Amino acid sequence: MEVANTIDSVRELVKAARSAGKKIGFVPTMGALHIGHISLIEAAVKKCDFVIVSIFVNPTQFGPGEDYKKYPRPLEDDLEICRNAGVDVVFAPAQEQMYPSENVTWVNVEKLTEPLCGRSRPGHFRGVTTVCAKLFNIVAPDVVFFGAKDAQQAIVIKRMVEDLNMPLEIVVCPTIRESDGLAVSSRNKYLTEEEKKDATLIYKSLEKCREMIEAGTTDIGTITAEMRTILSQSPAIEVEYVSIVDVEILQSIDHITGKVLAVVAVRIGQTRLIDNIVVDIEQQ
């Protein structure tokens, strides 16, 4: 496995792989790798001949007062995980490589970035789409792998790729969970044991949502009220949003029809956690 710290070096490595006729898979991450990231790498290894993982804690997607500085950066452990997972190249650029001067060019996906996390994290998605556009230009992959865990992010990126005619395919992989249902996340490292227990209420509220929809409840207000009741079992949980939206355009809906996305964002202490599930009544 090669570790590239510069844009020129990663481009050289990709160029050689492409000349050898290899299909290039790419997994963008912020590091602190866990089984969720590994599942994306495994999907990439399966579908592609040459796999690149980027590890870059992107400053432009963090707002003031967010956890950019304290975000975990266990680079040596991450490299070991990548080596064991069959990654060909890790691209781990310094901030000066990605943003050598003040950034004045931004990629902004409208509408889809307004609700949900866009409301509570202004500028977040602009940072995500901009860094992904840069990474896609640098790596020039055939296929890029994202997690369903960050549902809004995956939808926004897919739309950016479509609208800007980027010549690549986006694959969205399922959310990997702990045995108690908690979605695996680099930010779970911030949680105390007690907070981790509280955090299991997030998936419990989503399971309740699935159960109610499957049992025939169609009124969104009734379902989200029930989800909030579950979350309120822990006084440590501060709800940011509990919502059921259209799975493609993320708009609020009044009644369940077909396929919907149930999304939850909470704060537990200093830690912000998000999770979601898709429920498709037509598949029942």
> Site residues (CB under 6 A) for ligand AMP?
29-30, 36-37, 39-40, 146-147, 149-150, 173, 175-176, 183-186
- 91 - beta bridge partners? 4, 54
Query: Is 37 annotated in the active site?
Result: yes
Joined tokens for residue 241: 């949003």
Least spacing, CB of residue 133 vs ligand AMP, in Å: 15
How many CA atoms, within 13 angstroms, populate the side-chain half-sphere of residue 48?
A: 31
Q: How far is the CB of 45 from ligand AMP (least distance, A)?
A: 15
Q: Which is nearer to ligand AMP, 37 or 134 (CB)?
A: 37
- Residues 60, 64, 67, 68, CA torsion sign: positive
Q: Strand, coil or helix: what is 7?
A: helix
The catalytically annotated residue of 34, 37, 124, 255 is 37
Which is closer to ligand AMP, CB of 29 or CB of 113?
A: 29
Q: Give the number of other CB atoms < 10 A from CB of residue 206.
A: 22
Residue 79 near residue 54 (C-beta atoms within 8 A): no
When the beta carbons of 51 and 223 are compared against ligand AMP, the nearer one is 51
Smallest gap from Cβ 218 to ligand AMP, in A, equals 29
d(CA 71, CA 57): 8
What's the gap between Cα 186 and its chain centre?
11
| Contact (CB, 8 A) for 82 and 52 | no
CB of 62 to ligand AMP, least distance (A): 11
Of 58 and 234, the one with the shorter C-beta distance to ligand AMP is 58
How far apart (Å, rounded) are the C-alpha atoms in residues 42 and 46?
A: 6
Six-digit token string for 67? 């956890």
- Which single residue brings its beta carbon nearest to ligand AMP? 147
Q: Do residues 82 and 53 lie in contact, with contact meaning Cβ atoms separated by under 8 Å?
A: yes
- Asked if 178 and 204 touch (Cβ cutoff 8 Å), the reply is no
Residue 254 CB, nearest approach to ligand AMP (Å): 29
Minimum CB separation of residue 240 from ligand AMP in Å reads: 17
Nearer to ligand AMP, 148 or 227 (CB): 148
Other Cβ atoms less than 10 A from the Cβ of 233: the count is 11
Q: Name the residue nearer to ligand AMP (CB basis): 153 or 205.
A: 153
1 contacts: CB under 8 Å, gap ≥ 6: 79, 82, 83, 87, 88, 89, 90
Residues serving a catalytic function are 37
